[in-house]
Structure 1
């Protein structure tokens, strides 16, 4: 993840996938996956897929448990 925008309901995660930076807004799914962005707080983005949640911090390249 290359960045976070913490703007309440307009918050977004900036993710680099296949060399392209993409903005994923709250409630959206990461393109090419089933991971949905459900929250951004304390410089972490939390994603959910099939009731499983994982968080990611800026600079991290994969979703952590």
Structure 2
């Protein structure tokens, strides 16, 4: 969903309900922290920060330099 003109957008792109300008959403908080926890459990302690998924979850840009 796009919320053009939203006054507050978190680093992961989540717009809190108070600042939404477009369609409504069932989410009241960002689910990125929950997804990171799930990935940590799935990876069984192995680091994933250097992977494409890790970069996306940390809101870092993807680049062909990392290939």
Q: Between Structure 1 and Structure 2, whose CA radius of gyration is higher?
A: 2
Q: Please give the TM-score of this superposition, normalised by the length of structure 2.
A: 0.22
More helix by share: 2
More strand by share: 1
Q: Please give the TM-score of this superposition, normalised by the length of structure 1.
A: 0.22
